[in-house]
Structure 1
Amino acid sequence: MVEQASEEDVLLAKKIISAAERHDVPALKILLKEGSANVQDPTATVATSPLHAAIVACGKAEDEKEAGEDAVRTVEFLLENGAIWNDLNKEDETPGCIALRLGQKKIYDMMVEAGVRAELLFSKMEALGLGDDDEVEGNDDEAREEQPAAKKQKVSEEEAQAIQEAVEEEVLDDVSKDNRAYLKSQLRYKPGILLDESDNAVMMDWETQIMERHAETLIPKPGLKVMNVGHGMGIVDTAIQTHDPTEHHIVEAHPQVHQRLREHGWYDKPNVIIHEGRWQDVLPKLVEQGVVLDAIYYDTFAEDYKALKEFFSEYVIQLLAPDGKFGWYNGLGADRQICYDVYTKIAEIDLYETGFDTTWEDIKVPTGLHGSKQWEGTRRPYWTIDIYRLPVNTFVK
């Protein structure tokens, strides 16, 4: 049962939100000694956090007039005191979504940078195996600032089992949340779209222009050795074939896609080598064999950014020729602009730390993609923004 907020807590929340709305940093300094930067007023018609309120109060930017210094300092102060960059209000908007909608570019850029800092910190903590009571060496203040306000609670074995069962039920309801569940699921090929059994769009033909451009940027001349991970509808592999590679490796894990590869004659093409299995199992064997590739492309389904990072940091660096090129389908967070911008920056940072330079090419997605008709029969739209940022990675010289 959720404990009802006391009158004192509601009053404090109202004061914090009001101070944020007024861009009153001195008042916030006093109020946050007793309260949180992530409070919401449960009595309000529209629930909002102090960060949401501070950005809404900036109003719409007109004639390139952006938020004043008081507003900027208020947003900075709230972030420094633990405000969550991707917290949602009842309108399903993050603070950054509001800044973007209002045209407040400076505030929006601040929210993107806050998201990058937070996500990189969480990744670092996870890599170090740190728990809630541990600290990250180097900048403890920043670590505490960027941790989410609602920390994980310790639970009993019974509670842990209940949580696990709930997660398993959720995965069964949506196989895109677990790669192994997806690989066991039934796929449906329809004209212009590939669906999993949870009605998630695995791939759609609107991506054709993007895939063709990926092939062009990765394979500048004939006779190269190329690998694609994730065949799907075969859009990018078809594009790769037009560039006459001397070797064309395809890594694909789903049995139904293997069947489609057979039906479409891919196993019979003289320059194509099909590797059946997950890339996590296939690529170590290729490394052992000493395979060297001129171009590598990655576009899997039901895998998160952590998998992509493992792919390039563990395997691309071993398989790619010194002058080779690496590309990947940049769909991270593409259902929300700020998430897309945050993960684009995170990927660039992680790639650089691995030893890659990244260049970006902006491609406008097809007109009409955001209409509801385009997504009929799917569980949800996986793309809601206007520009696709195409990455090309080469080793740092």
Structure 2
Amino acid sequence: MADPISEIDVDLGVQEILLAASQHDISKLRRLLRSNDALGNPANVKDPETGYSPLHAAIAACEPDEDGVVQNGEPNGVQANGEQQHTSEQESTVQSAVQTVKFLLQEGAIWNDLDLNDETPGCLAKRLGLTDIYETMVDAGVRAELLLNRLDGYEPLSDEDMEDDEEQEQNAAVGADATGAEPTAEEEPAPQLVDTVGTTTGATEEANPNVTSSRYLSSDLTFQQDRLLDQDQNGVMMAWESDIMAKSAKQLLPIPGLRVLNVGHGMGILDGFLQEQSPSSHHIIEAHPDIIAEMKRKGWHEKPGVHIHEGKWQDILPNLVTEGEMFDAIYYDTFAESYADFREFFTEQVIGLLEQEGKWSFFNGMGADRQISYDVYQKVVEIDIFEAGFDVEWEEITVPRLEGEWNGVRRPYWRIDKYRLPLCKYMD
């Protein structure tokens, strides 16, 4: 039986932390976080009524009173008449909140934790027009995701390896002038944002365990006029993407006679637009047997210059490199693959297939279920693309309202207003 006195103590501890966060009292917060071990990670406690974490509380405290809300779109509660006293007070509050948010992140606060209104702290800052705080949260998300992605690249050590490492550490420690301190991460890694390049999960929403490459490739697909669904009613591709695909094709193939490779056929929307640009050769990689059968039914194998490669790109691209195939343009749009797969694609494969003056692109749907996730992954991708030796330019495209598009689809994979079309090329 739970001890009611202990429960009261825990509740009071939670409320004390949330109150100190809302008051931007960093010294008190530091003391409370250090002295509340019973709460697990006290930087991530939750208010039971709102779901607010300390990050939420610190940001929500910047919301202006109703009489300070303006009608002209000014952020941070600046009044329409430009009253200086009110502006100064608001700016002071915001700057205090920025410092509190940074402190909480250093203490392990989760950057993309959700409240009961399904908002992350960054979503709350965005809604309140708190640009400085929003950018702080985006940067925190970038650091967390980069750390998590890097850790995914390390293989766990075997028992034998660990014993060897321990022996080496002990030998190195003899007579060494070292502190032996363990490095610490600035913040706790947050859950990954994406299952695939084109399909996202919520910021802390658990990924659908069925959305995996192996399950998708063995799934029976449903072809409809405006969508392609897997057997779990996940949207593999949808017709609303057509404007994006049309502009992508024109960016990649600005003149006729170029050689293009598309990884992932889907509904064939992009490949149709690529054909309109009159390429000299058009290679398509597709792994799903149902889509391959549909491609044959529509006569794609008989189109001049079209070469269909049946299978996964991981198996096919190395063979194309060995055969000396080169392309002026490459596009990537797969389903149910991880960001690690995508990163492997452009860091390991593109360089062996793309001409020096060539361009490559991808369907940029990472984190597109909420704005902050999309902004975080744009920066993550920019960093990884830069490290791989490429520059990237972005073109913003307004996405039409999609409320009716998701009828019959298990979950929406796009919920933001603007698509950022990437165009990548080798650095000068």
TM-score, normalised to structure 1's length?
Answer: 0.87
Query: For 2:183 and 2:258, how far apart are their aligned partners in 1?
Result: 46
Match of 1:75 among 93, 96, 101: 101
How much does 1:182 deviate? 0.2
Query: For 2:151 and 2:262, how far apart are their aligned partners in 1?
Result: 32
Query: For 1:219 and 1:141, how far apart are their aligned partners in 2?
Result: 51
Whichever of the two has the greater Rg, that structure is: 2
Q: Which residue of 2 aligns with 1:166?
A: none
Query: For 1:128 and 1:255, how far apart are their aligned partners in 2?
Result: 33
Query: For 1:320 and 1:2, how far apart are their aligned partners in 2?
Result: 64
Tell me, yes or no, if structure 1 residue 317 matches structure 2 residue 321: no
- Could you say if the C-alpha distance between residues 381 and 283 of structure 1 is closer, same or farther in structure 2, counting changes exceeding 3 Å? same
Q: How many pairs were matched up? A: 365
Q: Which residue of 2 aligns with 1:32?
A: 33
Q: Which residue of 2 aligns with 1:137?
A: none
For residues 334-345 of structure 1, the aligned pairs below 5 Å read 334-345=368-379
For residues 85-124 of structure 1, the aligned pairs below 5 Å read 85-124=111-150
Q: Which residue of 2 aligns with 1:165?
A: none
Query: For 2:425 and 2:244, how far apart are their aligned partners in 1?
Result: 19
Q: Which has the higher contact order (CA 8 A, sep 6+)?
A: 2
Q: Which residue of 2 aligns with 1:374?
A: 405
CA contact (8 A) 2:233 2:409 kept: yes
Letter in 2 for 1:393: C
How much does 1:174 deviate? 5.9
How much does 1:266 deviate? 0.5
How much does 1:145 deviate? 2.5
Query: For 1:219 and 1:387, how far apart are their aligned partners in 2?
Result: 23
Q: Which residue of 1 aligns with 2:330?
A: 296
Q: Which residue of 2 aligns with 1:217?
A: 251
Letter in 1 for 2:216: Y
Query: For 1:31 and 1:148, how far apart are their aligned partners in 2?
Result: 22
Letter in 2 for 1:147: E
TM-score, normalised to structure 2's length?
Answer: 0.81
RMSD: 2.5
Letter in 2 for 1:31: L
- Could you say if the C-alpha distance between residues 3 and 145 of structure 1 is closer, same or farther in structure 2, counting changes exceeding 3 Å? farther
Match of 2:188 among 147, 153, 156: 147
Query: For 2:264 and 2:3, how far apart are their aligned partners in 1?
Result: 47
Match of 2:417 among 386, 389, 392: 386
- Could you say if the C-alpha distance between residues 200 and 29 of structure 1 is closer, same or farther in structure 2, counting changes exceeding 3 Å? same
CA contact (8 A) 2:244 2:397 kept: yes
Q: Which residue of 2 aligns with 1:198?
A: 232
Tell me, yes or no, if structure 1 residue 54 matches structure 2 residue 58: yes
Match of 1:330 among 335, 351, 364: 364
Query: For 1:98 and 1:141, how far apart are their aligned partners in 2?
Result: 35
Q: Which residue of 2 aligns with 1:156?
A: none
Letter in 2 for 1:242: E
Write the deviation string for residues 230-282 of structure 1: whole angstroms up to 9, x where unpaired: 10110000000011111100000000101111111100012000000011111
Q: Which residue of 1 aligns with 2:283?
A: 249
Query: For 1:255 and 1:143, how far apart are their aligned partners in 2?
Result: 47
Identity of aligned pairs, percent?
A: 50
How much does 1:189 deviate? 0.7
3-state SS of the aligned residue for 1:327?
strand
3-state SS of the aligned residue for 2:423?
strand
Query: For 1:376 and 1:364, how far apart are their aligned partners in 2?
Result: 21
3-state SS of the aligned residue for 2:308?
strand
Match of 1:64 among 75, 90, 94: 75
Q: Please say which of residues 100-109 and 268-277 is displaced more in the overlay.
A: 100-109
- Could you say if the C-alpha distance between residues 3 and 209 of structure 1 is closer, same or farther in structure 2, counting changes exceeding 3 Å? farther
Unmatched 5+ stretches in structure 1: 135-139, 151-169
Unmatched 5+ stretches in structure 2: 37-41, 77-90, 166-180, 192-205
CA contact (8 A) 2:111 2:190 kept: no
How much does 1:323 deviate? 0.8
Tell me, yes or no, if structure 1 residue 14 matches structure 2 residue 15: yes
Letter in 1 for 2:19: S
For residues 357-372 of structure 1, the aligned pairs below 5 Å read 357-366=391-400, 368-369=401-402, 371=403
3-state SS of the aligned residue for 1:147?
coil
Query: For 1:149 and 1:320, how far apart are their aligned partners in 2?
Result: 34
Query: For 1:302 and 1:126, how far apart are their aligned partners in 2?
Result: 17
Q: Give every structure 1 segment of 4 or more consecutive aligned residues whose post-TM-superposition deviation is greater than 3 Å.
A: 1-6, 64-67, 128-131, 140-143
Query: For 1:8 and 1:29, how far apart are their aligned partners in 2?
Result: 18
Write the deviation string for residues 283-303 of structure 1: whole angstroms up to 9, x where unpaired: 111111111111000001111
- Could you say if the C-alpha distance between residues 296 and 3 of structure 1 is closer, same or farther in structure 2, counting changes exceeding 3 Å? farther
Query: For 1:396 and 1:210, how far apart are their aligned partners in 2?
Result: 25
CA contact (8 A) 1:82 1:149 kept: no
CA contact (8 A) 1:38 1:149 kept: no
How much does 1:3 deviate? 11
Query: For 2:184 and 2:156, how far apart are their aligned partners in 1?
Result: 11
For residues 130-209 of structure 1, the aligned pairs below 5 Å read 143-148=184-189, 175=210, 177-209=211-243
How much does 1:356 deviate? 0.4
Tell me, yes or no, if structure 1 residue 267 matches structure 2 residue 301: yes
